[in-house]
Amino acid sequence: MYNNQPKKEKKCFFCANQVGDIDYKDTRLLRGFINFHMKILPSKRTGTCSWHQRKLSSAVKRSRVMALLSSTHQ
């Protein structure tokens, strides 16, 4: 039943692609890190490092305030 293969370690998307700054206006990028109910996905699921996860969450929250992203699913 259990798979004996080691789990593949996820790498931070932003570190791997050398993204310097996470922009709140880039909604296409931010939508990849929120789920269907518009909640921010945890770093355990996305694989982002803690530094970029904090930057990502503040960018998503800022984007919601500016009404670029909706805060709830319609």
How confident is the model over 9-49, as pLDDT tens digits? 778 999 999 988 999 999 999 999 999 999 999 999 999 99
Q: In angstroms, rounded to a whole number, what is the distance separating the alpha carbons of residues 18 and 11?
A: 12
| Beta-bridge partners for 40 | 34
- pTM for the whole thing? 0.82
Please report the domains of the chain, with CATH numbers, ordered by start residue.
19-65 (4.10.640.10)
